[in-house]
Structure formats: C-alpha cells, structure tokens
Structure 1
Amino acid sequence: MIDKVLALYEREMKRFFRSRYMWIMILAQPIMWIIFFGSSFSQVPSEFLQTFFHTNDYIAFIVPGELSVSMMMVGSFSSMSLIQDKRLGYLRRILITPTRKSAIFYAKVLGGMTRGIIQVPIMILVSLALGVTYNIDWLGLIEWLIGLVFLGVGFSSVYAIITTNTSDWQAPGVVSNLLNLPLMFSSTALFPEEFFPSWLKAISNVNPLTYSAELGRDALLYADPPDPLYILYLVAFGVIMLILGSIIVEKYLTVD
C-alpha cells in the first residue's frame, strides 16, 4: 500500500505547487500574522514583556505559537482536497482500482502536514528580517519540528475524518470556524496561561497547540532542555488521530 500512498501524496504536492493561490495563502497568512499581530506590542515597555511573556520581543514569543496554529489551520486543506476529489469524480475512479480507502486518507493527511511544515522556515526567516533574535537549543529545535509534524498529522486527520461522508463544499469552512478559533485562544499560542481563568487553563492543559507552542519557545527562545512529555503528547495525538481516521475512513468514506 505504501506505493499507492506515495503516488497519491505526489499528486497532492503537484496540485499544491501548481496553485498560485495556494502559495499566496501559505505565504501571506503567517507573514501577515507576524507583521500585524506580532507588532501590536511593539511599543510596550520591555519590563512588561519580560513580566508577562518572558521575552523582550513579542514577535519572538508568537512565532512558535503561530507556527503551531498554522499546522492546525492547514489541516483543513486535507478535507478540502477530499471534497474536491469527490465532486470531480476523481475519488470514484480511484476506488474502482485496488486502492484502499485508508491509502487515500494517508495521502491527504501527509499533504496537509507538508503544507504546514513549509511555513516553518518562511516564518523564521521573516521574523529574523524583522530583527528577532533567537537563543536556539538545537536538540529542542529538532524535537519541536518532530512535534509539529505530528501536530499536523493529527489535525489533518481530524479534518479528513469530519468530511469523510460529505461532499458539501461548505463543510471545511464550517468546521474550521468551529474548531480553529476556540483551539487557538484556549492555548498558549498567543498569550501565556498564567492569567487564564481556571476553566480555560484546564482546556489549555489538554490542547495540543499549547504543547507545541511551549516546545517551540523552549527551543527558540529559552534554550531549555526539551521536555520529553511534550513531544510524547504530540506524537500520541498524531498517532491516535491517524489510527482513528484510517478506521473511520475505511468504514464510512463515500464518493458522494
């Protein structure tokens, strides 16, 4: 089945690289987040930033969080691609071949995850161009990148699961609006959790975005030794969603 997954994944990547609008979205979204949202604290006294964000530069604080959020948001592309294949009849043609439904699912998930990973060097380079300086722990950086991969796999799986038995174009947008903002603001992607109310802290403590954002800050800002529990949590999230998705897709994926 691996050869079929790779062939379908190659198709996903060709569609991505040939779409100028997809490139605009992938490039523009994180850059605008850094420039506009990240600059919102540019005139704040450094004492405030140190007290609340433990850094002198809010952009440096937000980059790991925004990259984690981006891995979640691009997961919706896996469901968009699946629905497009249904509506164009491509999925029907694939399923009359000896190709398992789970192979299609794996290719969509890998495609969504790859779109997110492409943003990592882009955002880091843009932040460096804006004057951000990092204190990098290289082992932590490798661990964080692995965590981002599994974060992307997990959320791409979630989106693909939700649109398994629908061909409604509006489904990915509705799901994105219902999931993305609550998950983003209930994590430490944008703000530290010290000032969250207790109920929001409880959500943040099980939110995968929190683990990815904190892992990234340890790697890029604080040069702290990587916390193995963080990476284990993200790996578990990605693997569980992938296994669950493959089971659901094999049983419920429809061509209509």
Structure 2
Amino acid sequence: MYNKNKLFHKSGDLQEYLVLEPNFNQRKTRVHLATYIQEVHALAIRLIKQSIRRPSLIMTGIIQPLLWLTLFSALFQNAPIQLFTYGQKYGDFVSYGMIVFTAFTAALNSGLPIMFDREFGFFNRILSSAINSRSSIIIASSINIALSSSIQIIFIMSIISIMGQSSPHIPNYTLVISVLFLLSNSVTSVSLALAFVLPGHIELLACILMLNLPLLFSSTALAPLIFMPSWLQILASLNPLTYAIEIVRYTYLNQIIVPTSKILTNVWGEISVQQILIILLVTNCLISLLSYMLIGNKFED
C-alpha cells in the first residue's frame, strides 16, 4: 500500500514521490491446504506428546468424575428420584451426567498448555516461526483435547457399563458423540480465549475453578429440575450442560431416537431432541466465532 505525495523542488518543478505505508487492516496470506494440514499436524503432535509425558492430567480427568459418581450415588441412594424420572435409581441418573461432565472438564482445562507456553516463552517462538496460519494453533489444541477427552470418556463409559448400567445401541453412539463434540468444542473455545486474555496460569486456574463446580451443580447432572428451587431452575435452563446431559441420558434409556420427543421441561416449556441439538449447535457457533475474533485481536496486539 502506498500514497502519492507531491513535493516542490527548489527549481519550482512539481515532482511526485511514493510513500510506502503498511496496511494493518488487511493481513491475509494465501495458505495452501497441504501446508495448513502440515502445520496443524505438527502442532497437534507436539501437544499429544506433552499429554503422554504428563499422564496425570488424563488420570485426574478420569478419577474426578468417578469420585463424584461414587460419593453422590452413596449419599443420595434413597432419594425418590424415580418418581420424577424414567424410573431410574439415583446411581443410574447421575452416571449419565458424569459422562458429559468428563468431556466438560477436559475441555475446560484445554487452555493450560497454551498458557504455560506463553509463560515459558515457547509460544513467542511459535509465532515467530514460519507458520502461515495462526488459526492452526487453535485447531491443533482442539484436536489434542478431543483425543484426550475421548480417552477419558471411553474409560468412564466402560466403568459405567461394568457397574451394570445400560449402554446405548450402536446407532445411538453417533448422537452421543455429536453432542459431546458440540459441548467440548464450545468449552474449548472459551478456555483458549481465556488463555490468551488472562495474564498468567494463576488467573486461568482461578477461572477454571470458578466455572467448574457452579456449572456442574446448576445443571441436571446431580438432580432433576423439579428438585431445584425456582431461581436455580432458571440457571439450569440457561446452562448448556443441562441440554447435553438430558440428550445423553435419553440416548442411554431409549433404543429408538425420535427427534420430536420431548425430553426436558424447563422454565420455558418442553424441549425436544431436535431443539436441543439446534441449541447446542447455535451455542457452539456463536462461542467459537467470538473466541476466534478475540484470539485474532490478541494476535494483532
């Protein structure tokens, strides 16, 4: 980008000269698909190797939901929850919520590797390297979290099956995977945005702790909506975890999935399977777009 300026010479002649000016508003480079895939692959492999070298994070993501499942199942085993649900015992009711909570917790911690790279200076080396698209950093982080959470979810689902809970039919696994993917991708986008905005890992861990348990208790993971006071029912109706939990619970308890089936009654009325999928999809798109814009602005700073 340049501007033409005019200059009067001493002789009186009018001369033109060019002044080069950088254009900060347009920073687009043409990235070939093969190059983009190569960048994502290299960054994802690096994050996966980090996860393998630090298996404690994956183990914690497995142990924590199991502790919740064991403690709450024992604490509320005599709760008359079958009067307001599909005739389930409390252990059955809470186990399906723990599957969603496992994916949620793994996605919420996805910003920690980026934050540690920022603090140790390695992230600046990545930015100064010859990468063509900085969005490959975000995609690679999402792939790493998807693989880690998949391992944790498989363990939790296997343990639930060993405990005697029913398993969804094979065709229904597609719906479960889709719901968990939409939820995980939304939470991963939030966590990555926080990792770029907050100054250090102390602040990021504080946000994770502040979001983790309140979102769990304000959902239907541990109790149905009818057990909650009116103000908590409103919060649970706004919580994306509630919708993901209810659709996973419905998938486990029904062999045939009917998209128009009403599976949840919140403060605004009855919600069907199809409507829940639309809610999760729209939420995922909005959060991903806002997070991408926020991260893009931080890259420009």
- TM class by shorter chain equals 0.7 to 0.9
Distance 1:204 1:140, change over 3 A: farther
Partner SS for 2:197? coil
1:119-156 Cα offsets, whole Å, 9 max, x none, are: 2221121112222234x354443212111011011001
**Distance (whole Å) between structure 1 residues aligned to residue 281 and residue 46 of structure 2:** 26
Pairwise mapping of residues 25-174 of structure 1 onto structure 2 (< 5 A)? 25-42=60-77, 44=78, 48-99=80-131, 100-134=133-167, 136-174=168-206
- Structure 1 residue corresponding to 2:258, chosen from 225, 230, 234: 225
Partner SS for 1:75? helix
Instruction: Could you list the structure 1 runs, at least 4 aligned residues long, displaced by more than 6 angstroms after superposition.
Output: none
**Distance (whole Å) between structure 1 residues aligned to residue 224 and residue 209 of structure 2:** 23
**Distance (whole Å) between structure 2 residues aligned to residue 114 and residue 233 of structure 1:** 24
State the partner residue of 1:22. Answer: 57
**Distance (whole Å) between structure 2 residues aligned to residue 92 and residue 143 of structure 1:** 39
Letter of the aligned partner of 1:13 in structure 2? I
Letter of the aligned partner of 1:120 in structure 2? I
Greater share of residues in strand:
2
Relative to the length of structure 2, the TM-score reads: 0.75
Asked if structure 1 preserves the Cα contact closer than 8 Å seen for 2:112 and 2:201, the reply is: yes
Work out the number of aligned pairs and report it.
Answer: 251
1:182-219 Cα offsets, whole Å, 9 max, x none, are: 21111111111013223222222221101110001110
**Distance (whole Å) between structure 2 residues aligned to residue 16 and residue 101 of structure 1:** 22
Percent identical across equivalent pairs?
Answer: 24
1:184 aligns with 2:216: yes
1:154-200 Cα offsets, whole Å, 9 max, x none, are: 00111111221334121222111221222111111111101322322
Letter of the aligned partner of 1:26 in structure 2? G
5+ residue gaps, structure 2: 1-35, 260-272
State the partner residue of 2:242. Answer: 210
Asked if structure 2 preserves the Cα contact closer than 8 Å seen for 1:150 and 1:235, the reply is: yes
**Distance (whole Å) between structure 2 residues aligned to residue 102 and residue 196 of structure 1:** 41
**Distance (whole Å) between structure 2 residues aligned to residue 51 and residue 119 of structure 1:** 32
The structure having more radius of gyration, on CA atoms, is: 2
Partner SS for 1:78? coil
Letter of the aligned partner of 2:137 in structure 1? I
Partner SS for 1:133? coil
**Distance (whole Å) between structure 1 residues aligned to residue 201 and residue 142 of structure 2:** 18
**Distance (whole Å) between structure 1 residues aligned to residue 214 and residue 156 of structure 2:** 23
1:239 aligns with 2:285: yes
Alpha carbon RMSD of aligned pairs, Å?
A: 2.2
**Distance (whole Å) between structure 1 residues aligned to residue 48 and residue 222 of structure 2:** 30
Greater share of residues in helix:
1
**Distance (whole Å) between structure 1 residues aligned to residue 164 and residue 69 of structure 2:** 12
Distance 1:232 1:118, change over 3 A: farther
Relative to the length of structure 1, the TM-score reads: 0.88
